[in-house]
Amino acid sequence: MAAASNVTEILFLGFSQNESVQTVLCVMFLLLYTAVALGNGFIVVTIVASKGLASPMYFFLSFLSLVELCYCSVTAPKLIFDSFTRRRVVSLRGCVTQIFFLHFFGGTEIFLLTVMAYDRYVAICKPLHYATIMSRWACGLLVGAAWAGGLLHSAGQTFLIFQLPFCGPNIIDHYFCDVHPVLKLACSDTFLTSLLIILNGGSISVVSFAVLLASYVVILCSLRSRSAAGRRKALSTCASHLSVVALFFVPCSFVYMRPCVTLPVDKVVAVFYTVVTPLLNPVIYSFRNTEVKNAMQRLVRRSATWEEK
């Protein structure tokens, strides 16, 4: 909790004060969040229920979809509720909680995407040793490390912000609590805290992006010696992953890897990486992947058969 704080609740300005616009936003985000929940939830259920999707790649994909669903759930339900009730308020404790889980799931996703790049590197560049390197135990350890990394990142960000005093005002020009908007409410010098926040988030992003870039450079170089069919299959899988990486890293880098200032466009960018990206991931991974599509069709047919019985 914030030190010596006189602020007990925080008010969001949101996207608009117009009631008609608020109603449209409520409906739009409700539909988007429903699609995110159904899409990512269906991927998780499909992978868990399909024996043919037991490889490490799909094991990691199931956790990525779970994290995407959780990540979107940190902000979208609150936004929908606020648009419906016209009361955009959160307690300081609720603000702490929102920032913690936002960066917990966001950090975990970054680490999972890095793990998935490593998995593709081993599968393509070291195929004979793939089963040994990416054993069930190793996959579980990598996923656990991703969750632990997200937890450490989030704990650091949350502590840095809420050890500051908050004396007022208590209004932020955003639709959820995040580090930069909330930092502006602190009534003390925040230069050092801002620097540490950038170093915390920036170091994770830079290191992860470097690992991702190195993995795919090596992969692309190794594909030159493969057959045309082998190259197409490998490139298709890598293209899906790279699309997800770009959709998540680009907007997040714009917001978090710059000095702690807020811009009007931040709210639109935030919608993209908290709602749109989790919505597009199921589309990218299901429609570009024949195995996932076939497994989904089998699961739907099996469910229909059970209902008939």
In tens digits, what is the pLDDT along the chain, a chain of 309 residues? 555 567 788 888 888 777 788 888 889 999 999 999 999 999 999 999 888 888 898 999 999 999 999 999 999 998 888 887 777 889 888 998 999 999 999 999 999 989 988 998 898 888 889 999 999 999 999 999 999 999 999 999 899 888 888 887 888 888 899 888 888 888 888 888 888 888 887 778 778 878 888 888 888 787 776 667 667 766 776 777 777 777 787 888 777 777 766 777 888 888 888 898 898 888 787 766 778 888 888 888 877 666 555
Q: What is the pLDDT of residue 98?
A: 94
Structure-block tokens of residue 171: 């209004």
Q: Say how far apart CA 169 and CA 255 lie, in whole Å.
A: 23
Contact indicator for 219, 239 with CB cutoff of 8 Å: no
Residue with tokens 């940190």, as numbered in its chain? 74
Q: What is the pLDDT of residue 308?
A: 55
Q: Say how far apart CA 305 and CA 190 lie, in whole Å.
A: 61
Residue with tokens 């170089």, as numbered in its chain? 221
Looking at the DSSP assignment, which residues form a beta bridge with residue 11? 89, 171
Q: Say how far apart CA 60 and CA 305 lie, in whole Å.
A: 29
Q: Catalogue all structural domains in the chain, each as residue range(s) with its CATH number.
A: 9-308 (1.20.1070.10)
Contact indicator for 158, 111 with CB cutoff of 8 Å: no
Q: Say how far apart CA 124 and CA 261 lie, in whole Å.
A: 42
- What's CA 298's distance to the chain center, in Å? 28
Contact indicator for 180, 266 with CB cutoff of 8 Å: yes
Query: Of 62, 37, 153, 70, which is closest to residue 104 (Cα–Cα)?
Result: 153
Structure-block tokens of residue 304: 């229909």
Contact indicator for 304, 297 with CB cutoff of 8 Å: no
Residue with tokens 């308020």, as numbered in its chain? 89
pTM: 0.89
Polymer length in residues for the chain: 309
